[in-house]
Amino acid sequence: MRMQKSLEAQQYQSEIMVAAIQLIVIAILYLLYESFPKGFSTDAPIYSVPFGLSLFAILVLTRLYFTYTKQLTHQFLGWSVIAEMLILMTTIWTYHIQFESQAIVNLKNTHFNYVFILIALRSLRFEPLWVILSGLTAAVCWVAIVVNAIYTADGNVITWDYVTYVTTSMVHLGGEFDKVLAIILVTTIVAVGLIRSRLILLQAVTKTQAAEDLSRFFDTGVAKKITGSENTLLPGQGELRTAAIMFTDLRGFTLASSKLSPQRLIKLLSEYQSLLVPIIQKHGGNIDKFIGDGILASFGAVVPSSTYAADALNAADEIAAAVNMWKALRSKKDSIAVNVGMGLASGEVVFGVIGFEYRLEYTLIGETVNLAAKLEKHNKVEHTNGLTTLETLEMAIAQGYSDNTEKQRLMKSKVGGVDKPVDLVVLA
């Protein structure tokens, strides 16, 4: 059903495009008609071009109204496709009345070329049925015009001599057969092309829908890598990046899980993720994964960046401010107190594909990732809410980050799981 709705949206746009092109052509033809001298009497029984253009404009505007109001059914569209070709053929047929001559003059009408334009316009909907219907209507109508011209003529008007056909008002059946054959061949070729194009369109729509679905379960950048990869993704493929890694953790979640119902607990988790994820993405970050109540994000890993550290620090500052507002709002509602811890590190990471052939995952690996996770946990030791390394701060400043607040520095700190002391900076 999702594929069908997406295709319907495409067809809706196509029908509007068809109508717009037809109205433009009508306007151009009317201007040309008014600009050039007329070759018929001013008291002619009928003015073919104004007559045909008026009927065509009414038909197009009616179909456009039904399109905009979502009332355009397949039945109405089918009849309108037949009607537009009938209007063109009727206009061509009335030329002998306008010029007050025999119906053979209709066979010399250059407006016959517009038959192919109408058929081609129907290809914009990516539905072969309408092309076939338009082509068949044109072929049948032209045969009818030829038969009418022959049977209403005075005497035998059929000739097989090409020069006689070109220089007189005689009818060359071979020439008329060529016109009908051209209509059928063009219709067939366009229809076959449409069948193939429709398959490609279906694949494109499916791929687009798949990419949208993937971006809901994967980070947008990762989804683009998966759907846009020129080569088959295999486990073990990796790229070395210099990036910033951020770990966040929802503090108070364990207590909340023991007191809240499953629905309220998931709602709390959703609030937390809905708060942080847009901020991370706003600053060019990518969500690697959700780990329970934790978030692993990267800056400059999925797509290389020259401002990865500055982007990460800007995101951390905005997260700290947003979390303070969120905590204040929750305290007013007498909700369970929660907080967010952050750990931020920068350096070399490996961004690549791990897993088994039929179950793959993009992930981040390296000491920088481990350090960010350890810094997030170290917040509890330092009684802080956010920590990064002095090296990351200095790199961020070099990349354009404005350190508007004097951040506390914890020099030579012992971080659990890290062999050497680390110079830290308090973010929140």
pLDDT, tens digit, 9 for 90 and up, residues 322-378: 888 888 887 777 677 778 888 988 888 887 665 565 555 667 778 888 888 888 888
Average pLDDT, the chain: 83
Examine the domain organization and report whether 392 and 419 are in the same domain.
yes
Which residue range is the domain that position 120 belongs to? 2-214
* Greater model confidence, 42 or 89: 89
How many domains does one find in the chain? Answer: 2
- Asked if the structure places residue 126 within a domain, the reply is yes
Task: Indicate whether 43 and 111 sit together in one domain.
Answer: yes
User: In the prediction, which pLDDT does 416 show?
Assistant: 82
pLDDT value of position 99: 86
Q: How far apart are the C-alpha atoms of 196 and 189, rounded to whole Å?
A: 11
41 pLDDT more than 50: yes
Where is the domain boundary, 155, 181, 214?
214
Whether residue 223 lies inside any domain: the answer is no
In a domain, 143, yes or no: yes
Q: How confident is the model at residue 290 (pLDDT cuts 50, 70, 90)?
A: confident
Number of other CB atoms surrounding residue 77 within 10 Å: 21
- Find the range with the poorest average confidence among 144-153, 236-245, 263-272: 236-245
Same structural domain, 30 and 171: yes
**pLDDT at 125 (0 to 100):** 80
Lowest mean pLDDT among 53-62, 140-149, 266-275, 359-368: 359-368
209 shares its domain with 258: no
Decide if 225 is inside a domain.
Answer: no
pLDDT for position 359: 56
Secondary structure of residue 248 in the 3-state scheme: strand
Which range among 77-86, 153-162, 225-234 has the greatest average pLDDT? 77-86
The pLDDT value given to residue 370: 86
Q: Judge whether residue 404 has pLDDT over 80.
A: no
- Say whether pLDDT at 79 is over 90: yes
Same domain, 314 and 198: no
Least confident of 49-63, 152-166, 248-262, 349-363: 349-363
> Which helix (H) or strand (E) is 294 found in, with range?
strand 294-299
Residue pointed to by tokens 């350090």:
371
Q: What is the mean pLDDT of residues 392-413?
A: 84
Residues 183 and 294 in one domain: no
Q: What is the pLDDT of residue 7?
A: 66
pLDDT tier for residue 233 given thresholds of 50, 70 and 90: very low
- Each residue of 199-218: pLDDT tens digit? 877 777 676 666 666 566 55
Segment 275-282 shows an average pLDDT of 89
Is the pTM higher than 0.85? The answer reads no
* Rounded percentage of the chain residues whose pLDDT exceeds 90: 20
The three-class DSSP label of residue 225 is helix
pLDDT score of 428 = 78
Same domain as 404, residue 327: yes
Same domain? For 204 and 291 the reply is no
Greater confidence, 362 or 122? 122
Residue 219 resides in a domain = no
Both 173 and 249 in one domain: the answer is no
Show Cβ contacts of residue 334 under 8 Å, excluding neighbours closer than 6 positions. none
Residue 284 lies in a domain: yes
What element of type H or E holds 262?
A: helix 262-282
The pLDDT assigned to 234 comes to: 47
The answer to whether residue 358 sits within a structural domain is yes
Q: Read out DSSP for 142-157?
A: HHHHHHHHHHTSSS--
The DSSP bridge pattern shows strands 294-299 and 359-365 to be unpaired
* DSSP code string of 301-366: SSS--SSHHHHHHHHHHHHHHHHHHHHHHHHHTTPPP-EEEEEEEEEEEEEEEEEETTEEEEEEES
163 CB neighbour count, 10 Å cutoff: 8
Judgement on whether residues 13 and 83 belong to the same structural domain of the protein: yes
Q: Which of 300, 322, 324, 294 is nearest to 312 (CA)?
A: 300
The enclosing domain of 303 has a CATH number of: 3.30.70.1230
* Domain co-membership, 181 together with 236: no
Q: How many CB atoms lie within 10 A of CB 92?
A: 22
pLDDT (0 to 100) of residue 380: 86
Give pLDDT, residue 302: 78
Residue type, 414: K
What's the rounded mean pLDDT across residues 245-272?
82
Residue 288's H or E segment, with its range, is strand 285-291
| pLDDT value for 348 | 85
Task: Tell me what pLDDT residue 235 has.
Answer: 46
Q: Could you read off the pLDDT of 139-184 as tens digits, one per residue?
A: 999 999 999 999 998 888 898 888 888 888 888 999 899 999 999 9
What is the mean predicted confidence (pLDDT) over 263-273? 84
